[in-house]
Amino acid sequence: MQSSTTHPHSRDGLSWPNGYRSAVGLAFDLDGPTGDAMLDGALRHNPRYFTEGAYGPFRALPRLLDLLARHEMPATFFIPTWVVEQWTESCAAILRAGHEVAYHGHHHEFFRDLTPERQLEVMQRSREVFRSRLGVVPSGFRTPSGDWTAQTPSLLREFGIRYSSSMRGEDRPYFHPAPEGAVPLVELAGRWDMDDYTSLAYFEDPAFPTGHDRISDYRAVLANWCAEFEGYHAEGLFWTTILHPKVSAKPARLAILDGLFSTIRKHDDVWLTTLDQIARWSLQQAGYPAGQEPS
């Protein structure tokens, strides 16, 4: 269920620091082999599924980090903490490269199917893993299922989360309703348009896409993604992505990301930053304290 919203800015009044025209927060979901097969127990009997997912942190991530470094672009990585436990050094490399890590469940749970008590248990377990394995406590959250229950926004705010990137319906930061005097949860919505699953994913058993009818032409994908960015930039909006290293950071597909990053870099008036910095800016612009680091 999507919460009702209030906007910190009208579109005409949207402003970014240092005179930037638009804001970009690149975001990647480092899911590994979590998800359906792990949640229903099928992973134990499906080594192929495991290796398909493990390709993300094992092989694709180093390639992606090198590309981000070449373009000097920061990013936010949403990581199920089971992945942090299995590939701790890979996740530590994300932080050493100056990127942000954020919550994405422990086993990539579907929050819409969990009771509030169970959602809190997942968040608490995830916080402990981030703290013990990487020495950080994230400030952001992206629900693995792309949906949640009516209680989730307040649960996240009370847990100390500064922002969510879970919804799909906006191109500006907005706030979820909060009690008077409370600092609201910032929503930094992504879009299915910029989810690489919609054009590049192909997995068997479970089948995705159903019917196995396409992997898009890579030149068309690059053109679409660049057009999406240019549209947001022209209107001075906020733009983020839902990309997965195991899908789009394969050798031939890295050229798509390289082309996209080059297109963004042609503009000197884009604020390239992490989602946490976007959330802090949005709170400050609306007169709220941006908050301390989570503990």
What does the pLDDT look like over 173-200, one tens digit per residue? 999 999 999 999 999 999 988 999 999 9
Residue 262 has pLDDT above 80, yes or no: yes
Which pTM value belongs to this model? Answer: 0.93
Query: Binning pLDDT at 50, 70 and 90, where does residue 229 land?
Result: very high
Average pLDDT of the residues in 10-27: 86
Residue 94 has pLDDT above 90, yes or no: yes
Q: Which residue has the higher pLDDT, 37 or 199?
A: 199
Average pLDDT of the residues in 32-37: 82
Residue 38 has pLDDT above 80, yes or no: no
Average pLDDT of the residues in 103-125: 96
Label each residue of the chain as H, E or C.
CCCCCECCCCCCCCCCHHHCCEEEECEEECCCCCCHHHHCCHHHHCHHHHHHHHHHHHHHHHHHHHHHHHHCCCCEEEECHHHHHHCHHHHHHHHHCCCEEEECCCCCCCHHHCCHHHHHHHHHHHHHHHHHHHCCCCCEECCCCCCCCCCHHHHHHHHCCCEECCCCCCCCCEECCCCCCCCCCEECCCCHHHECHHHHCCECCCCECCCCCCCCCHHHHHHHHHHHHHHHHHCCCEEECEECHHHHCCCCCHHHHHHHHHHHHCCCCEEECCHHHHHHHHHHHCCCCCCCCCC
Residue 57 has pLDDT above 80, yes or no: yes
CA distance 232 to 172: 10
Structure tokens given for 222: 């690059």
Q: Are strands 100-103 and 76-79 parallel, antiparallel or unpaired?
A: parallel
pLDDT of 6: 45
Query: Binning pLDDT at 50, 70 and 90, where does residue 4 land?
Result: very low
pLDDT of 213: 67
Q: Which residue has the higher pLDDT, 49 or 255?
A: 255
pLDDT of 7: 44
Angle at 197 between CA 194 and CA 201, to 5 degrees: 145
Average pLDDT of the residues in 197-220: 82
Q: Which residue has the higher pLDDT, 146 or 210?
A: 146
Q: CB neighbours of 21 closer than 8 A, spacing ≥ 6?
A: 233, 236, 267, 269, 270
Average pLDDT of the residues in 4-32: 79
Q: Which residue has the higher pLDDT, 34 or 126?
A: 126
